[in-house]
């Protein structure tokens, strides 16, 4: 292992405020941060004299303005490039993270996990959201009989600042998983990392700023105490906190949170459980997968994860086999030491304070009746220097009385877990619930009925439940890995908040508003055409005589919301119905048996297949020559409303409903509102047609 240079005095860690790096001049109070393995100084932390009010004001002014000049897709695209930039420079973050006690495997969770998270949000933002700054939420509500008064819900970005207060254990991922959705939403961020590992966060922020991808005022960093930050926030702002339940409660009690409308979400410590199903005995694949999962969660990040498994709930007869299996795997897999040593598989805790806190928690659990079965403070730390570094051995306890209150309330935030026996599934459910609300539980079973029974019992107590069995053991991302696609958070002790969850996370930084008005006004507000709003209509006759242009002949540059094509009528013959039935094999009686169809209360007699009508509609609205419409990519929200029988006629009205240009492609997506009517002007079917349309017309298409 290379020697560490200790000749230079530790530097004062800078903050990034109002688009400049800032450090206090000769602060009277500083906090010294030490290397978790060697106790050598890393940096000094102080925010004495930092103007938090000015930081908030800068975010609300410059940050809001610069982000507002970009659309959702433009901001999401910047995240894609930012992920690539951070990936290119990740080794620098790895080297700094070594000092926190994190191993190379841990870096993959924190550094690579954070980069992967912003990459995922970039992709989902561009695929699932409009290239605009207003998001329509849900269907339109008809508020008048004639369709002149409508209502719906929209999301718009918050006009304040997104403040994130993070824990020490994930200095990169903890920041990026909050930053990505707020950035896509268009809300500037102020980051306040935990002081113990703030130097890693500071390095990541520096890389982000150096990338040139962060707009003015969109990101600020407070490297140390946030002091009076919450005093400057109001209903425009959002605070996302990760840390202890006690600190969360303190922040919740702040007057601006309690009474002035500051939005506050918390993700706090929780006593997560892994439950071994009654079918998963020692001779099963599930048992082996269970042991692997528990040991991984004990040792990854040295157990300093809010999702780590603190309670191992197993059938009473399996307590000893589980303990012995954990002992065997821990003995063979865990090498405690400095992460810079290639042989190390588990590093120290983040600080000596953390080590002392974990030791106190273990003492409390033992005093309450727990038995140390593996490890423990008295077992030593092997070749690791516990006197200098913050090392703590992997520790397994068991309890003769599984309902001992301490095991369901005291968290040793380190490589410590407790094995508890249960009598039956109801008993296991009760034990899991005693944790008072958790981020995640793993249930290891290969029996779908057992999985369903556990779901009914524990889902309401958990933010996420992982089902582990032989089929997904190799592909599962694991108990302790929050995914950007899925909600991270949990009820009760876990904080009662939500993060991640795909586009849900973006909407956490937006306001949902009900809007009401006429079709024309709501079209103007949302940028999405509403049925009944003004339209520019082309017909077969006006297209033929050259007085109108078919919408399919218009490129994205020419097409406008409300451009419309209204076809003529096409009559359905009985032969059309029978021929379609024979060619497709869809000989359902409503199309082929006159007597049976007539007896059906929903049909007047034999009726046309719905998909025949949809196919005919395409024939009625399509413009067949090569042109800017490049592909049909889907059909959504299909609803059949009025049956069509032979001798009826249908016509189609196609209207450009939404236009979504792509930032990096030479095409965009167009959503077309499609309505089929019969000869009586009754609605037969409604749906949306999705197409890709070129941004510009080519000369040969004219």
Write out pLDDT tens, residues 598-610: 998 899 899 999 9
Length of the chain equals: 702
**Tens-digit pLDDT profile for residues 265-274:** 998 888 999 9
How much is the pLDDT for 7?
Answer: 44
662 pLDDT higher than 80: yes
Of 355, 457, 482, the closest CA to residue 36 belongs to 355
Using 50, 70 and 90 to split pLDDT, how confident is the model at 6? very low
- Out of 306, 444, 453, 669, the active site residue is 306
451 pLDDT higher than 50: yes
How much is the pLDDT for 514?
Answer: 96
% residues pLDDT > 90 (the chain): 71
How much is the pLDDT for 53?
Answer: 93
Query: Residue 141's beta-bridge partner residues?
Result: 151
Read off φ and ψ for residue 650, nearest 5 degrees: -130, 155
Laid out side by side, the sheet with 135-142 consists of 135-142, 150-157, 510-517
**137's tokens:** 């939420």
Of 219, 161, 169, 177, the closest CA to residue 193 belongs to 169
**Tens-digit pLDDT profile for residues 157-179:** 999 999 999 998 899 999 999 99
Mean of pLDDT values over 357-365: 91
Q: What are the structural domains of the chain?
A: 52-268 (3.40.605.10), 273-479 (3.40.309.10), 535-701 (3.10.129.10)
Query: Residue 654's beta-bridge partner residues?
Result: 565, 674
Q: Helix 113-128 crosses helix 72-88 at what angle (to 10 degrees)? A: 160
Name the DSSP letter for residue 645: B
Whole-angstrom distance, CA of residue 495 vs CA of residue 463: 10
Q: Name the average pLDDT for the chain.
A: 91
Mean of pLDDT values over 524-548: 92
Q: Is 399 helix (H, G, I), strand (E, B) or coil?
A: strand
Mean of pLDDT values over 667-682: 94
Q: Helix 72-88 crosses helix 198-210 at what angle (to 10 degrees)? A: 120
How much is the pLDDT for 495?
Answer: 87
Name the DSSP letter for residue 124: H
547 pLDDT higher than 70: yes
The sign of the dihedral angle between the CA atoms of 420, 425, 427, 429 is: positive
CA atoms within 13 A on the CB side of 243: 22
How much is the pLDDT for 533?
Answer: 94
How much is the pLDDT for 8?
Answer: 55
Whole-angstrom distance, CA of residue 297 vs CA of residue 306: 10
How much is the pLDDT for 1?
Answer: 35
Mean of pLDDT values over 383-409: 85
How much is the pLDDT for 565?
Answer: 96
Q: Is 198 helix (H, G, I), strand (E, B) or coil?
A: helix
How much is the pLDDT for 3?
Answer: 38
Mean of pLDDT values over 688-696: 92
How much is the pLDDT for 380?
Answer: 62
Active site residue 682: no
Using 50, 70 and 90 to split pLDDT, how confident is the model at 381? low
How much is the pLDDT for 391?
Answer: 87
Active site residue 141: no
**Tens-digit pLDDT profile for residues 19-58:** 999 998 888 888 888 888 888 888 999 998 899 999 999 9
- Out of 43, 152, 204, 267, the active site residue is 267
How much is the pLDDT for 385?
Answer: 64
Using 50, 70 and 90 to split pLDDT, how confident is the model at 276? very high
How much is the pLDDT for 591?
Answer: 92
584 pLDDT higher than 50: yes
5 pLDDT higher than 60: no
**344's tokens:** 């190390």
Count of H-run helices and E-run strands, the chain: 22, 29
Alpha-helix residue ranges (DSSP H) falling in 168-275: 173-185, 198-210, 245-252, 255-258
How much is the pLDDT for 649?
Answer: 95
Using 50, 70 and 90 to split pLDDT, how confident is the model at 386? low
């Amino acid at each position: 292992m290379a020697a560490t240079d200790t000749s230079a005095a530790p530097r004062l860690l800078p903050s990034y405020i109002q688009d400049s790096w800032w450090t206090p001049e000769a602060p009277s109070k500083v906090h010294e941060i030490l290397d978790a393995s060697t106790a050598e100084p890393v940096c000094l932390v102080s925010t004495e004299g930092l103007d938090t009010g000015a930081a908030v004001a800068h975010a609300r002014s410059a940050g809001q303005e610069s982000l507002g000049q970009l659309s959702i897709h433009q901001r999401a695209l910047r995240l894609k490039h930012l992920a690539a930039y951070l990936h290119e420079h990740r080794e620098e973050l790895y080297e700094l993270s070594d000092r926190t006690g994190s191993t190379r495997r841990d870096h993959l969770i924190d550094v690579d996990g954070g980069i992967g998270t912003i990459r995922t949000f970039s992709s989902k933002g561009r695929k699932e959201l409009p290239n605009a700054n207003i998001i329509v939420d849900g269907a339109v509500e008809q508020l008048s009989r004639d369709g002149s008064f409508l209502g719906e819900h929209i999301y718009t970005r918050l006009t304040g600042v997104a403040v994130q207060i993070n824990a020490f254990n994930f200095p990169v991922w903890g920041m990026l998983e909050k930053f990505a959705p707020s950035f896509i939403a268009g809300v500037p961020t102020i980051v306040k990392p935990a002081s113990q590992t703030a130097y890693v966060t500071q390095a990541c922020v520096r890389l982000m700023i150096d990338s040139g991808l962060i707009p003015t005022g969109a990101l600020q960093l407070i490297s140390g105490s946030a002091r009076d930050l919450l005093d400057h926030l109001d209903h425009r702002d959002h605070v996302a906190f990760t840390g202890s339940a006690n600190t969360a409660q303190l922040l919740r009690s702040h007057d601006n949170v309690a009474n002035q409308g500051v939005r506050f979400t918390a993700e706090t410590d929780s006593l997560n459980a892994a439950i071994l199903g009654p079918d998963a005995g020692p001779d099963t694949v599930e048992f082996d997968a269970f042991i692997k999962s528990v040991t991984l969660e004990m040792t990854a990040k040295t157990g300093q994860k809010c999702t780590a498994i603190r309670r191992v709930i197993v059938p009473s007869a399996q307590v000893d086999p589980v303990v012995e299996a954990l002992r065997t795997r821990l003995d063979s897999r865990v090498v405690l030491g400095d992460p810079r040593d290639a042989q190390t598989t588990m590093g120290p805790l983040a600080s000596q304070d953390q080590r002392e806190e974990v030791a106190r928690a273990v003492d409390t659990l033992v005093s309450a009746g727990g038995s140390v079965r593996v490890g423990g403070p008295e077992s030593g730390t092997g070749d690791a220097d516990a006197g200098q570094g913050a090392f703590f051995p992997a520790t397994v306890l068991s309890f003769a009385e599984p309902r001992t209150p301490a095991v369901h309330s005291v968290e040793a935030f380190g490589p410590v877990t407790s094995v508890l026996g249960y009598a039956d599934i109801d008993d296991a459910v009760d034990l899991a619930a005693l944790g008072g609300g958790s981020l995640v539980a793993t249930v290891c079973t290969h029996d779908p009925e057992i999985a369903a029974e556990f779901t009914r019992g524990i889902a309401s107590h958990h933010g996420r439940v992982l089902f582990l069995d032989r089929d997904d053991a190799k592909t599962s991302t694991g108990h302790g890995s929050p995914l950007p696609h899925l909600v991270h958070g949990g009820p009760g002790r876990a904080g009662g908040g939500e993060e991640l969850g795909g586009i849900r996370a973006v909407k956490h930084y937006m306001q949902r508003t009900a809007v009401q008005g006429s079709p024309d006004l709501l079209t103007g507000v949302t940028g999405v055409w509403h049925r009944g709003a003004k339209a520019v209509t082309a017909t077969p006759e006006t297209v033929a005589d050259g007085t109108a242009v078919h919408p399919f002949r218009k490129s994205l540059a020419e097409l406008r919301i409300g451009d419309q094509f209204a076809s003529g009528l096409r009559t359905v013959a009985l032969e059309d119905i029978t021929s379609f039935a024979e060619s497709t094999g869809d000989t359902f009686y409503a199309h082929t048996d006159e007597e049976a169809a007539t007896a059906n209360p929903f049909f007047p007699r034999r009726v046309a297949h719905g998909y025949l009508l949809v196919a005919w509609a395409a024939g009625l609205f399509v413009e067949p020559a090569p042109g800017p419409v490049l592909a049909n990519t889907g059909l959504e929200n299909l609803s059949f409303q009025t049956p069509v029988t032979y001798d009826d006629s249908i016509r189609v009205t196609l209207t450009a409903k939404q236009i979504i240009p792509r930032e990096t492609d030479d095409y965009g997506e167009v959503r077309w509102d499609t309505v089929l009517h019969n000869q009586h002007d009754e609605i037969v079917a409604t749906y949306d047609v999705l197409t890709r349309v070129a941004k510009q017309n080519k000369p040969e298409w004219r």
